């Protein structure tokens, strides 16, 4: 038995939900299974919630909201400080947990998955300390008040990162929450609930119910006492949640799919731009909704770009997630592995040029959901691999003749989540960025900014997370005339 499961089994939390400040037994008998993607073996079973569990959790959140929503920001900020400290204290345990249940290389879990997740807690706390909850406009007070009970549905690809990106700002705003993490990566959420308990949050402010979409997600979306639902997931899942939420007219925030472009302008240093572009596209094995998996490049430089891309990609070390030399571990689950293999086959059948990679596992790996980092070139925008989200280590290189054509290609998708632009002439770089229809654009690979609002145009969703806008998402605006 691995360390995270030993820990959760020893304290009795593996078979419990965290509701109303207590570790409660589930009301039903349905069970889910956690599969180690590196071995394809079952490592543990855990309970799946149902409508009754949802009802109990929402009731606990509703009761807690009355007092929590009226607490002082300084009090909530202090609790977020404590939460950050507890997550930092358990960072190694959480990293091992993420490596186990979703295949992240242990080095990547330690340096990205866990610390970036903790950064969302600090960011929400920092925003809270200066947030303008009351604004004067003449004799009117424009106030921003907590939305209410918020249901939060998070995915399997950045499990803790997406939990903290939703829970921390919701709690900072004064909302109470019910969290449904992905049933494919549920264990890190249990560790997060332990940190919430250790930090001393009042009972019912945070509640956790593990389960699947039909058993828990749909119930949260349709529940009349849930005031808002926030989901990160596929566009298909986002549509289903919005439809279930519509009869109760609750707020729905959706962070959904993407097919992000990376526009390489003709004046750029090719080696640096392409090398960093490969790293960005294949971070977390491409299992990121904003990964720039369409590299849009000058046709005149296509051969050189292909050579650089192959060299850099072939240096990637795919293997045992717990090995310190591994740079990229296993694909998180069987369904996603199969999807990647199917789409690599589609790319070949569509006539795209296979630069490196291809179907099957990397050499020497006989089991586990390991995929070859794959580069296609001479990709056309009408190809499925250029339009559909693959969610794996597959990069499409699309050539262009003019900068105007590059912008057209960048926007030729139903998605609009992230984008990248690389170039030396910043006048041109900024102009291209202004013409791309996406919620977040990165210029020349800047450092990650947890205060930069994140969200999508078009079918990538609505609403924003992170920073000031992330906290604002959980607030209602009230006007009080004659206040001043």
CA-nearest of 39, 68, 45, 242 to 148 is: 68
Higher pLDDT, 228 or 1: 228
Percent residues over pLDDT 90 in the chain: 99
User: What does the pLDDT look like over 359-394, one tens digit per residue?
Assistant: 999 998 999 999 999 999 999 999 999 999 999 999
Report how far apart the first and last C-alpha atoms of the chain are (Å, whole number): 63
User: What does the pLDDT look like over 262-299, one tens digit per residue?
Assistant: 999 999 999 999 999 999 999 999 999 999 999 999 99
- Based on the domain organization, do 165 and 289 belong to the same domain? no
Examine residue 205 and state whether it is found in any structural domain, yes or no: yes
Q: What is the domain range of residue 203?
A: 3-256+461-480
CA-CA-CA-CA torsion sign (266, 270, 275, 278): positive
Average pLDDT along the chain: 97
User: What does the pLDDT look like over 172-225, one tens digit per residue?
Assistant: 999 999 999 999 999 999 999 999 999 999 999 999 999 999 999 999 999 999
The answer to pTM > 0.95 is: yes
Examine residue 455 and state whether it is found in any structural domain, yes or no: no
- Based on the domain organization, do 468 and 407 belong to the same domain? no
- Based on the domain organization, do 159 and 270 belong to the same domain? no
Backbone φ and ψ of 333, nearest 5°: -160, 165
User: What does the pLDDT look like over 32-90, one tens digit per residue?
Assistant: 999 999 999 999 999 999 999 999 999 999 999 999 999 999 999 999 999 999 999 99
- Contacts by 88-96, CB closer than 8 A, 24 or more apart: 88/118, 90/191, 90/194, 90/195, 91/115, 91/118, 93/3, 93/4, 93/7, 93/191, 94/160, 94/188, 94/191, 96/2, 96/3, 96/4
What is the total count of domains within the chain?
Answer: 2
Find all residues with CB under 8 Å of 192, minimum gap 6, and list them. 87, 160, 163, 164, 167, 208
Average the pLDDT over 13-19 and give the result: 98
User: Contact at 8 Å (CB) between 257 and 225?
Assistant: no
Specify the pLDDT at position 71: 98
Specify the pLDDT at position 296: 99
CA-nearest of 199, 235, 255, 168 to 451 is: 168
- Based on the domain organization, do 352 and 251 belong to the same domain? no
Tell me if residue 255 is catalytic.
yes
Specify the pLDDT at position 369: 98
Q: In what order do the strands lie in the sheet with 22-24?
A: 22-24, 17-19, 206-208, 176-180, 149-153, 228-232, 251-255, 461-462
- Based on the domain organization, do 367 and 223 belong to the same domain? no
Q: Residue 382 is part of a domain; what is its CATH number?
A: 3.40.309.10
Examine residue 308 and state whether it is found in any structural domain, yes or no: yes
Q: Which residue bears the tokens 């939900």?
A: 17
User: What does the pLDDT look like over 307-342, one tens digit per residue?
Assistant: 999 999 999 999 999 999 999 999 999 999 999 999
- Based on the domain organization, do 445 and 414 belong to the same domain? yes
CA distance 422 to 345: 30
- Based on the domain organization, do 27 and 76 belong to the same domain? yes
Q: Residue 212 is part of a domain; what is its CATH number?
A: 3.40.605.10
- Based on the domain organization, do 8 and 131 belong to the same domain? yes
Tell me if residue 88 is catalytic.
no
- Based on the domain organization, do 249 and 266 belong to the same domain? no
Specify the pLDDT at position 1: 53
CA-nearest of 362, 373, 329 to 104 is: 329
Examine residue 164 and state whether it is found in any structural domain, yes or no: yes
- Based on the domain organization, do 251 and 363 belong to the same domain? no
Burial pattern 312-325, b for ≥16 Cβ within 10 A else e, equals bbeebebbbbbeee
- Based on the domain organization, do 249 and 283 belong to the same domain? no
Average the pLDDT over 148-156 and give the result: 98
CA distance 258 to 389: 6
From the list 289, 396, 465, 473, the catalytic residue is 289
User: What does the pLDDT look like over 246-257, one tens digit per residue?
Assistant: 999 999 999 999
Examine residue 383 and state whether it is found in any structural domain, yes or no: yes
CA-CA-CA-CA torsion sign (38, 43, 45, 49): negative
The pLDDT of residue 135 is above 90: yes
- Based on the domain organization, do 269 and 190 belong to the same domain? no
The pLDDT of residue 160 is above 70: yes
User: What does the pLDDT look like over 100-116, one tens digit per residue?
Assistant: 999 999 999 999 999 99
């Amino acid at each position: 038995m691995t360390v995270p499961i030993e820990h959760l089994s020893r304290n009795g939390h593996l078979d419990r939900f965290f509701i109303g400040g207590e570790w409660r037994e589930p009301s039903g008998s349905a069970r889910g299974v956690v599969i180690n993607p590196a071995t394809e073996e079952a490592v543990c079973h855990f309970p799946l919630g149902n409508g009754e569990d949802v009802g109990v959790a929402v009731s606990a959140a509703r009761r807690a909201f009355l007092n929590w929503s009226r607490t002082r920001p300084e009090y909530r900020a202090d609790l977020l400080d404590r939460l950050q400290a507890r997550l930092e204290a358990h960072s190694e345990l959480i990293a091992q947990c993420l490596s186990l249940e979703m295949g992240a290389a242990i080095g990547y879990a330690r340096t990205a998955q866990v610390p970036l997740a903790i950064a969302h807690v600090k960011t929400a706390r920092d925003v809270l300390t200066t947030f303008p909850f009351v604004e004067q406009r003449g004799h009117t007070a424009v106030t921003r008040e907590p939305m209410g009970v918020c249901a939060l549905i998070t995915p399997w690809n950045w499990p803790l990162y997406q939990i903290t990106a939703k829970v921390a700002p919701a709690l900072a705003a004064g909302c109470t929450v019910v969290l449904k993490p992905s049933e494919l990566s549920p264990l890190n959420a249990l560790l997060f609930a332990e940190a919430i308990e250790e930090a001393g949050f009042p009972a019912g402010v945070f509640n956790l119910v593990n389960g699947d979409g039909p058993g828990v997600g749909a119930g949260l979306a349709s529940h009349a006492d849930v005031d808002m639902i926030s989901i990160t997931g596929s566009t298909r899942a986002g549509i289903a949640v919005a439809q279930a939420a519509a009869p109760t007219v609750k707020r729905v925030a959706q962070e959904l799919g993407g097919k992000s472009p990376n526009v390489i302008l003709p004046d750029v240093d090719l080696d640096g731009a392409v090398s960093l572009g490969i790293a960005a596209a294949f971070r977390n094995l491409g299992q990121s909704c904003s990964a720039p998996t369409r590299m849009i490049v000058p046709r005149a430089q296509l051969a050189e770009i292909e050579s650089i891309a192959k060299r850099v990609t072939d240096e990637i070390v795919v293997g045992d997630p717990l090995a310190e030399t591994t740079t990229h571990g296993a694909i998180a689950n069987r369904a996603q592995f199969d999807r990647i293999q199917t789409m690599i086959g589609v790319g070949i059948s569509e006539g795209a040029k296979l630069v490196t990679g291809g179907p099957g596992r990397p050499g020497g790996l006989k089991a586990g959901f390991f995929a070859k980092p794959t580069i296609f070139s001479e990709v056309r925008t009408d190809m499925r691999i250029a339009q559909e989200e693959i969610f794996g280590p597959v990069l499409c290189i699309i050539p262009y003749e003019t900068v105007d054509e590059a912008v057209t290609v960048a926007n030729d998708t139903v998605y609009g989540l992230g984008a990248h632009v690389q170039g030396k002439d910043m006048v041109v770089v900024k102009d291209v960025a202004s013409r791309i229809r996406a919620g977040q654009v990165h210029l020349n690979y800047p450092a990650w900014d947890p205060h930069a609002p994140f969200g999508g145009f078009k079918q990538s969703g609505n609403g924003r997370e992170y920073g000031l806008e992330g906290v604002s998402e959980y607030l209602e605006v009230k006007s009080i005339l004659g206040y001043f």
